[in-house]
Structure 1
Amino acid sequence: MEFAEHIKTANVEDVVLKQPFHAPMKVTLCVTGHHLLFSDRSGDSSWQLILLLRNIDAIEKRPAGSSGTITIKCKDLCILQVDIPGMEECLNVASSIEALSSLESVREMYPFFYRPSWLSLDDPWGLCTPEKHYDQLGALQAKWRLSKVNSDYSVCPSYPPAVIVPKSVDEQVLVKAARFRQGGRFPVLSYYHQKNGTVIVRSSQPLTGANRKRCKEDELLLQAVIDGSDRGYIIDTRSTQQAHQARMTGGGFESKSCYNSWKRIHRNMERGKVLQESLIKLVEACGDQSHNMDRWLSKLENSKWLSHVHTALSTAGLVAECVERDGHSVLVHGSEGTDSTLLVCTLAQFILDPDTRTLRGFLSLLEREWVQAGHPFQLRCARSAFSHARLRQEAPLFLLLLDCVWQLSRQFPLALEIGEPLLLRLAQEAYASDFGTFLCNNEQERCALELKDRTHCLFQFLLRSSEREQYINPLYESTDLAIWPSVQPQSLHLWAGLFLRWTDHTQNMEEVRDEIWSIVTERCCRS
């Protein structure tokens, strides 16, 4: 379908735009297939605001005599107000925005049309393939191998073509084990601990069902993971009750009798609709203009967002403790293995591995554990906190990860090379982007769309010398130590840089960061 079919009124003059940090201004509004363009060409001014339509979460129309007002609520939590002269023009623009901001075909999205002069489609895509990652883990290769069993995505649609598995397990065992796991997500390597050789592996739930079915190949695979060790830990991100209920619908958990070398621990982590509604309540609280302290604190507590942050960090800390302090390997899974499983595995690595706290290392970690590992970005990030649409499969798991990383940056201000601006940029890009990195739900879909040949890579772009400086923590000092998060209530804070981003307070904090950066840079030049 041509974009022009959705555009009922392409240009409107004398529009009044109201946005954070700016006085109301009269501009010209232009509607294109992927953007709203606000431009002020009066006098010597050449000011322009370009808003990606995919960034629009919801709009509200309000008549005002012969004209109308459109309130635009964006996925990055910014709210714009547009006063349009003429009711017909107002309704036409609103209709166009609603249609163009909710296109479901991935091929019609802007990354497939984004062609800046400073980027080439021949530029490298991504930072670390499974093959390259395996080559970097020299000590691992004695007991683990790179498997191409999923090279055509037939074994597991949401896994990459290559995965790292125990060397003693052949391909036929992997195929049968995959049939026993939801979505075919059999246990694969997530992290190898260089100090003691223990590992973190991840998967989806076993399909034991009400009849408590067994799979000898799955049992063999998990036994090979611990390789003769007396014990491994299974961290199930569901409550015991949820795991038992899953049996009624064909799912389940690993029984003690069949996996006697593994100890199962349940850590209930919310996902799906519960997590999405928590985000909605938090954003509503942050937008409350009543300035009543009791009301604000009550709304913040009722959102339960910081409780989700607490659970994610404490569960990841448990996994890291099993690996680093107890010297035991860990399997992490929930139901599908594409959401809370990835969250916990990523945070555990961030706690343990200093390399993941560098800019390149962190982006590589996200690529391995979220993009390649099959987090369904297209489904989870379809809507943000303002949409009036009925919730389907939206859930802010990636946003929760970034919040947890921000909490760690507060507790360990010198240990992370990455700064808050990077986390804010990633939060925005996951929901609406010029780049193709977060498009689709898995590698199979990206391959079918030839995404790596037809769009640009965000991670490569962020590492460019022209970009990276703004995302670096000026106070960073490299350390080989693990960073153990505090999850005491007084240690966790609201991420004001994101949730209060469009207030004067946050603008002042950005000015402070710029000043710190200039001071550190000046001192480095002197030394």
Structure 2
Amino acid sequence: MRFEDITIPNVDKVQLVDLLSNETTTTGSLHITPSHIIFRSDDGSREIWISTGLIGVIERGSISANGCALTIRCKHFRVISLLVPRDKTCQDLYETLRKIGEVVNVKDLPAFDIRNPQTNSGGWNRLEFSIEFSRQGVSSEWQETDINQNYAICDTYPNRLWVPTNATKNILEGSSKFRSRGRLPVLTFFYKPSSAALCRCAQPLAGFSARCVEDEKLMELIGQANSTNNNICLVDTRPLMNSFVNKVQGKGYEDVRNYNNMQFKSFDIENIHVMRNSQQKLLDACSSGRTITEYLKGIESSGWLKHLKAIVECSLFIAQSLHKGISCVVHCSDGWDRTAQTVAIAQILLDPFFRTIHGLQVLIEKDWLAFGHKFDDRCGHVGALNDEAPKEISPVFTQFLDCVYQVMTQQPRAFQYNERYLIVIHEHVYSCQYGTFLGNCESDRKDLSLSKRTNSLWTELDTRQDDFLNPFYEPFAFNEILDLDTRSSNFSVWSSLYNRFDLAAHPRENMYDSLMNSMEHVGVLESHIAAMRMKIAELRGLSASMIDSGLSSTEGVDDKLVLESPSSKESVAESELELVDDHLGRRVIRWQRLNEVYNCSSKRCMAEFSSNVERKIHCHNCGKIFCRRCVDMTSDESERICLDCAKRNQ
């Protein structure tokens, strides 16, 4: 999208409607750019920026005396309701927004227009398979193979694969031909305490009777790679009925009678179409204006929590099997949706590394990006000139993050990151401002040269790590498999995500932010106390030296007696104390409360804190709250102060 393609870049006298009260609250102007939609109030007190990649559905309502209704439903669950003054203007705006939101060429996405090479080091090298498998402690029974070099046997798999050491090229090629999309069983995680392996693949092209000797041999070698337990468990994440239907299409599931030492386990995780409808019902239930009874009925009708429960139960089964020393091979239909969800959650349950900020990035790079989850299709990054593209959209990755959140609520001390981290990742999966989640597979991303032409999300998040820290984290307390209770009562709606922008008149303080803010405030006060103690010690030393000097000066000449008289000593001490008072005077002991501030305190900014995910940051100097853009660290990295205080202190 280029500027010249935007038929109506500015609209004045637009009214922003408060969805909670259904009343017009703000009048301003709407500005359309290739990368953002911007609403700016006439008095300058409110400004809303929305990435064009986040545009989901545009709805045009009927005209009334107040104007023509236009609703923008975003992929990160924000809903903007506007009243446009004239019917023709509303129609032009509707068509412009639809054109912006329906990108056909991936190169027209915002990520390709906002690259800043100076800030883009490291993010594109977050995952190196050899380093990651070395960290996991992969045994000599597994080896790297270049059989998929240049994506020769599977264009949706990584370039380099790890397979059993004794697996020959013929075995690997034969298994690949027997699996949907060529996605043969390969290693994704090695659980060193039991030497059990977690492998992933796609469904077999078995039909009702077909078999593959090479595939059966590869499965046998996967089992034999664990010297203590040769048994493997094949986990099919699909409902059994779905697997039967796929047999009619020449696909289906493995006949365990043809495989040695294999047990079969099926789980009822529904397909992408069911999940898409389920999320829409969930969002309808979470919309404002519903009674408690309607809300609860809507949540039950959506089935969303039931689906989360099924994913977590399957993941827990996989984790427990690996913990017992039983290797697992997991697949769904094509191995890039339900498979990615369950193997990733299982690794989070088993490996503390994946419960860290850096570790989650590595996990996403490995099991979602490298192994070919179709982010372009599932997130609707790029449309098509037919009706097929909307059928491919599904909240698969959103479900994964929701499952991580459900685990975090049961084990809050086991995670280095907080829920804000998950929500920010979710937003930028859809925003298309970064190249990290563009493309359907590793091959796509290389063809698009994303590492050279776009920014990495991980680089941006690296600069904000303090926003994502969990104050309850105990890094050495949870080294074993996480214990979960999967009863239905332990699953809840993630309101901070789905109702992120529904701020009440008196919003509650975020628990994590309140604690982190208190810890930060205490730290600032303690350092201040320490500085004052040092200053007091200096003054005491100065006072003692002045007394000694005054006593010895009685033997000197009269002019020295005058210079070092008690009154002179007092004036010097007073000047020193004035410096201390000045230092104290620049420090505000009491900080602003988080739930009392709705806008950045900088008069030049006044940015609105429009959701409970945007962190409110205190200036250590004046105690006021600012947005991240209006604060900075001091040169010695010891304090965070606002730009106004930094200017005054120069």
Query: TM-score, with normalisation over the residues of structure 2?
Result: 0.75
Aligned match for 1:468, one of 461, 465, 470: 465
Partners of 2:500 and 2:412 lie apart in 1 by 20
Question: Which deviates more from structure 2 when the two are superposed, residues 67-76 or residues 330-339?
Answer: 67-76
Aligned residues: 513
Partners of 1:242 and 1:41 lie apart in 2 by 56
Aligned match for 2:211, one of 186, 209, 214: 214
| Partner residue in 2 for 1:494 | 493
| Partner residue in 2 for 1:27 | 28
TM-aligned CA distance change 1:380 to 1:507, over 3 Å: farther
CA displacement 1:307-351 (0-9 Å, x = unmatched): 011101111111111111x21101111110001011110011111
TM-aligned CA distance change 1:486 to 1:294, over 3 Å: same
Q: Once the 2 structures are TM-superposed, how far is the Cα of residue 195 of structure 1 from its aligned partner? A: 0.5
| Partner residue in 1 for 2:254 | 254
Q: Which has the higher contact order (CA 8 A, sep 6+)?
A: 1
| Partner residue in 2 for 1:54 | 53
CA displacement 1:348-389 (0-9 Å, x = unmatched): 1111111110110111111101011100011111189xxxx8
TM-aligned CA distance change 1:66 to 1:244, over 3 Å: closer
Aligned match for 2:335, one of 314, 334, 337: 337
Partners of 1:127 and 1:99 lie apart in 2 by 34
TM-aligned CA distance change 1:19 to 1:438, over 3 Å: farther
TM-aligned CA distance change 1:48 to 1:522, over 3 Å: closer
Q: Once the 2 structures are TM-superposed, how far is the Cα of residue 65 of structure 1 from its aligned partner? A: 4.7
Partners of 1:243 and 1:515 lie apart in 2 by 48
Partners of 1:445 and 1:307 lie apart in 2 by 34
Matching residue's letter, 2:35: H
CA displacement 1:119-176 (0-9 Å, x = unmatched): 24x5541411223223334x42411111121121121111010111111112332122
CA displacement 1:42-78 (0-9 Å, x = unmatched): 4xx3753221122111112222359422111111111
CA displacement 1:92-122 (0-9 Å, x = unmatched): 11110001111121110001111348624x5
| Partner residue in 1 for 2:162 | 164
> Which structure 2 residues correspond to residues 415-426 of structure 1 after superposition, within 5 A?
415-426=414-425
Partners of 2:432 and 2:440 lie apart in 1 by 15
| Partner residue in 1 for 2:536 | none
Partners of 1:420 and 1:505 lie apart in 2 by 20
Matching residue's letter, 1:171: K
Matching residue's letter, 1:97: L
TM-aligned CA distance change 1:117 to 1:213, over 3 Å: closer
TM-aligned CA distance change 1:20 to 1:436, over 3 Å: farther
Partners of 1:65 and 1:21 lie apart in 2 by 21
| Partner residue in 2 for 1:298 | 297
Match status 1:446 vs 2:432: no
* Percent identity (aligned): 26
> Which structure 2 residues correspond to residues 1-400 of structure 1 after superposition, within 5 A?
3-4=2-3, 6-18=5-17, 24-40=25-41, 42=43, 45=44, 47-62=46-61, 63-65=63-65, 67-116=67-116, 119-120=119-120, 123-137=122-136, 139-210=137-208, 212-227=209-224, 229-291=229-291, 293-324=292-323, 326-382=324-380, 391-400=390-399
TM-aligned CA distance change 1:183 to 1:327, over 3 Å: same
Partners of 2:75 and 2:275 lie apart in 1 by 16
Q: Is the 8 A contact 2:375 2:381 kept in 1?
A: no
Partners of 2:104 and 2:381 lie apart in 1 by 12
Q: Is the 8 A contact 1:383 1:394 kept in 2?
A: no
Q: Once the 2 structures are TM-superposed, how far is the Cα of residue 453 of structure 1 from its aligned partner? A: 1.2
Q: Secondary structure at the match of 1:199?
A: strand
TM-aligned CA distance change 1:448 to 1:286, over 3 Å: same
Partners of 2:447 and 2:338 lie apart in 1 by 26
Q: Is the 8 A contact 2:234 2:262 kept in 1?
A: yes
Q: Is the 8 A contact 2:52 2:110 kept in 1?
A: no
Q: Secondary structure at the match of 2:103?
A: coil
Matching residue's letter, 1:108: D
Q: Secondary structure at the match of 1:414?
A: helix
Partners of 1:505 and 1:394 lie apart in 2 by 31
Q: Once the 2 structures are TM-superposed, how far is the Cα of residue 468 of structure 1 from its aligned partner? A: 0.6
Runs of 4+ deviating beyond 4 Å: 19-23, 522-527
Q: Is the 8 A contact 2:133 2:190 kept in 1?
A: no
Question: Which deviates more from structure 2 when the two are superposed, residues 70-79 or residues 46-55?
Answer: 46-55
Q: Is the 8 A contact 1:70 1:83 kept in 2?
A: yes
Q: Secondary structure at the match of 1:29?
A: strand
TM-aligned CA distance change 1:195 to 1:176, over 3 Å: same
- 5+ long unaligned stretches in structure 2: 528-650
Partners of 2:132 and 2:88 lie apart in 1 by 57
TM-aligned CA distance change 1:99 to 1:524, over 3 Å: same
Matching residue's letter, 2:377: L
CA displacement 1:234-288 (0-9 Å, x = unmatched): 1111223322221111112221221131101111211211000000000000115
Partners of 1:491 and 1:512 lie apart in 2 by 19
Partners of 1:400 and 1:314 lie apart in 2 by 14
Partners of 1:507 and 1:118 lie apart in 2 by 41
Q: Is the 8 A contact 2:133 2:189 kept in 1?
A: no
Alignment root-mean-square deviation, CA: 2.3
Partners of 2:508 and 2:144 lie apart in 1 by 46
Q: Is the 8 A contact 2:119 2:459 kept in 1?
A: no
Q: Is the 8 A contact 2:123 2:458 kept in 1?
A: no
Match status 1:504 vs 2:499: no
